[in-house]
Chain A
Amino acid sequence: MATQLAEPTAKSNAPQESVVVRFAGDSGDGMQLTGGQFTLSSALAGNDFATFPDFPAEIRAPQGTLFGVSAFQINFGSTSIDTAGDAPDVLVAMNPAALKTNVGALKPGGLIIADTGEFTKRNLEKAKYDVSPLEDGTLAKWQVLAFDISALTLESVKPFGLGNKEALRCKNMWTLGLALWMFDRDRAPLIDWLNAKFAKNKVLADANIAALNAGHAYGETAELEGSIHKLHLGPVATPAGLYRTITGADAVALGLVAGAQLAHLPMFFGGYPITPASSILHALVRLKEFGVTTFQAEDEIAAICAAIGASYAGQLGVTSSSGPGIALKGEAMGLAVMTELPLVIVNSQRGGPSTGLPTKTEQSDLYQAVYGRNGDAPIPVVSARSPSDAFECAIEACRIAVQYMTPVILLTDGYIANAAEPWKVPDPADYAEFPVTFLAEKNAGDTLLPYKRDAKGARPWIKPGTPGLMHRIGGIEKQVDTGHLDYSPANHQAMTDARKAKVDGIAQSIPDQDVCLGNPGGKLAVVGWGSTYGPIHQAVGRARAKGLDVSHIHVRHIWPLPQNLGELLKGYDKVLVPEMNTGQFKTVLRDQFLIDARPLTKTSGQPFTIAEIEAAIEGALA
């Protein structure tokens, strides 16, 4: 798109192979739906893509207000895409508030498509505009394409006799139709989708299809010539196979189901509604045929306690929440550590502290995951770098939990949970099984030793209902081997050491840390974890293209860390750690390896841009 614009953009020093489009409108305008369908059409065009839905915490914020703006950004192209893009090339603004809150991010020379039908006096006032920005010249550095989408939509759906409100709801499909024309996309899959979505209401289906077609037809009319043209972005070279789009929340749900299957266990999921973690529960309630029992508990504490109860009774217990809910679960996590029962705890991180920014993303729960419990309560921590990676990480969390008889924390974040990317559908047969064996008879001659450890330091899993193996467990310090109550000094020392050694030992079962871009040693390592993968990878790639000696290392296993990580990092002159918090992983790295890791922090509720990390790399190497 950008190469077609009237003015060259600041960074268009090479032919652009990707485009960033942001759809922004009122939270009731259906922008997330529009974005989602545009994403699908990108997938079908063979483009690689990444998306970033950004919506308000309020379900139905007052219409036309600045805080009620909902946006969906997609970066797509014929090249490999790792982030949802820094600055949009195209902004679709469905009302003045959407324009005001988003135009600042638009690239100079970028294109604004605005619905003049919504630029009424009242809406301008709500968006705190004295004069319409479409008329006062303030948008001069961009291209503006303003026309009355509302009226055009009403006109296109007139034959269907809808009420005014219902008819205007078709605006998003009209806009989508225009976008499909701009990027030379096939309308057929969208028409199929609308027919399926409104299968029970033929009139609504037909009206939406008519709006979609009208938007597309509008693009072809003479009125647009000279300002924008069709742009075709060819397919990206991807390995052959079956693909689908996946969000992080769905990937976690599927990964948990896969993990339970690989462990040969039924799964019990205890959850309590919280943004942005609820979608995992929503996905799992529909998978009962996979031996999944879901339980919406009375609170976060009950959700984890029920999951621990289910693990105790022989299922794979799982609970999921976001920062504030995870805080409530802290005491129960300690019990799972003490009773050495498997458990997976998923934290979809959001901006904090306290209620913080429920719908915005952050990585600020790393301290909470690694250190946030009373007592010496080590818990392994795994972090997902992208929506599709969340599938792999969920399986890994299940494996560690059942093989080491331990709770495991899986960190994702609001960005990963909601963002979508293409996913090459994996074959379950490619994953190694890790079947669980429950203790069936006494394990020390005539005696049962519930805390007798195997070579990995794990105790046996003993299901109630097993004849002859009755025993008691609980949160009071356990005696070595027998598990009886024992407060004695030597025993507490021994058990604290054993719990730590067990979790430390997990490092032996995880792969050595790789360098995902660059060399194992050099001037600068950029070390990331979680959803910063995309911007770091792109930024390091660009810096290397300029000849800078910089490498990207992305850590999945936050605790315990990969065994070679310390030595690997010592091979670089400098270590830079970009993270969406005030420097938490940096602290862990300094503590574990005594290295001078430097932070690059961002806590605005928005992901890093590539440019921000690129600038930091250049700064570090200057």
Chain B
Amino acid sequence: MNAITPITTTTLKDWETDQEVRWCPGCGDYAILKAVQRTLPELGADPANTVFVSGIGCSSRFPYYVESYGFHTIHGRAPAFATGIKLANPQLDVWLVTGDGDGMSIGGNHMMHVLRRNLDCQILLFNNEIYGLTKGQYSPTSREGTTSPTTPLGSVDRPASPCAFALGAGARFIARGFDVSKELPNVLKAAYHHKGAAFIEIFQNCIVYNKDRFEDFAAPKGAEDRQLWLQNAEPMLFAKGTKGIALDTEKLTLKVVDVVDGDWQAAGVIVHDVTNRSIAHMLVEMPFGPFPMALGVLYDDPRPTFEAAVMAEREQAAAGKEPNLAKLLAKGQTWTVTEDGPEL
């Protein structure tokens, strides 16, 4: 986000385009689109000052449906386009929409560098653990053993973990949500308010090729037991406060502890500090199954942005220098040819 953007009054309708949405009926993308369109007015965002940039894939059709500026680019390269846009005009609010194939596979390199550089933008990575637009091949986030047209006997490679990747690449904001979650707008808002690259992994249900892949933690029934919604400065509690996450100080790992009578302190439950990078490393690696799925803002510790540093350096380098083209062309060792011959 941009700190000096004035508050603009809009409604959800202002962010809808006249284009027919072409996702499959029931696709999780619809819910994410609505969540974004509902959140933008609350942020006071200005459609004229907002740019949605995407790569290729189902998720990357997103810009066509948001009434703002939009650039549907090429496979995996959205971070590079966003970098050029933001360096050319740092005043713009840039949102990047990508998927697990686009962002983690063909575009993994660009994802690493946009995070490392800390370009001010919101990165929404729709993770459905499958290639949808190309009809169902397994993706870099597909779990081992995923059967697909290219892996009829089950995939053998280990999946990438987007949040662990982002943290390893140097991201300063990492969050997780899922398509139909009511909490998603809050996650989007936190990302928007973070100045710098804000990485959000959004689990998204591909109802055609990977239906209900995330039901194990996303299903409403029993959700409290399987979802850990992280809140800064709040204890890491789930299962209606009967369980919590504590630090195993001997193994230096996290562990699940029972909380008796709400006395989480006695159980050693840790308080979430979004700026604690060590705990963030444990949270992004925390395996679902033995642990609940960590959701919400896992890490948020801003540092100066790339475009600010580039602008500052440019201003410093240009300070006191007059952009005189004629002088520039005549720079260096010159000589003058006169009727009498050349001279220095």
A interface with B by C-beta (< 8 Å): 40, 43-46, 189, 193, 235, 238-245, 254, 257-258, 261, 266, 268, 270, 286-291, 293, 295, 297-299, 301-303, 305-315, 317, 331-332, 335, 339, 425-429, 463-476, 484-485
A58 to chain B, nearest CB (A): 27
Chain B interface size band reads: 35 or more
Q: Give CA–CA (A254, B56) in the complex, Å.
A: 36
Q: Give CA–CA (A288, B311) in the complex, Å.
A: 10
Judge whether A235 and B342 touch: CB under 8 Å.
yes
Judge whether B339 and A240 touch: CB under 8 Å.
yes
Q: Give CA–CA (A313, B334) in the complex, Å.
A: 38
Judge whether A474 and B63 touch: CB under 8 Å.
yes
Judge whether B337 and A238 touch: CB under 8 Å.
yes
Residues of B within 8 A of A301 (CB): 77, 80, 110
Judge whether B321 and A289 touch: CB under 8 Å.
yes
Residues of A within 8 A of B330 (CB): 242, 244, 425
Residues of B within 8 A of A472 (CB): 17, 19, 63-64, 69-72
Judge whether A313 and B113 touch: CB under 8 Å.
no
Q: Give CA–CA (A44, B336) in the complex, Å.
A: 9
Contact of B328 among A268, A287, A463 (CB under 8 A): A287
Judge whether A289 and B322 touch: CB under 8 Å.
yes
Contact with A along B287-307 (1 / 0, CB 8 A): 000000000000000000000
Judge whether B310 and A293 touch: CB under 8 Å.
yes
B342 to chain A, nearest CB (A): 4
Residues of B within 8 A of A299 (CB): 109
B309 to chain A, nearest CB (A): 12
Contact of A425 among B86, B317, B334 (CB under 8 A): B334
Q: Which of B23-59 contact A (CB under 8 A)?
A: 47-49, 51, 53, 56
- A270 and B69 contact, Cβ closer than 8 Å, known pairs A242-B336, A465-B91, A466-B48: no
A142 to chain B, nearest CB (A): 33
Tally of contacts, chain A with chain B, CB under 8 A:
209
B222 to chain A, nearest CB (A): 40
Judge whether B87 and A243 touch: CB under 8 Å.
no
Q: Give CA–CA (A35, B341) in the complex, Å.
A: 23
Judge whether B337 and A243 touch: CB under 8 Å.
yes
Q: Give CA–CA (A112, B74) in the complex, Å.
A: 57
Contact of B323 among A243, A291, A293, A475 (CB under 8 A): A291
Judge whether A470 and B47 touch: CB under 8 Å.
yes
Judge whether B334 and A310 touch: CB under 8 Å.
no
Q: Give CA–CA (A484, B63) in the complex, Å.
A: 12
A359 to chain B, nearest CB (A): 24
B330 to chain A, nearest CB (A): 5
- A470 and B80 contact, Cβ closer than 8 Å, known pairs A242-B334, A254-B329, A464-B85: no
B344 at the interface (CB under 8 A from A): yes
New A-B contacts (13) at CB < 8 Å, excluding given A46-B341, A270-B84, A290-B328: A240-B339, A244-B335, A258-B325, A286-B317, A289-B317, A293-B87, A302-B79, A302-B109, A429-B326, A464-B48, A469-B48, A470-B68, A472-B71
Q: Give CA–CA (A588, B336) in the complex, Å.
A: 42
Judge whether A240 and B337 touch: CB under 8 Å.
yes
A485 to chain B, nearest CB (A): 7
CB-CB nearest 4 A-B residue pairs: A309-B84, A474-B72, A306-B84, A305-B80
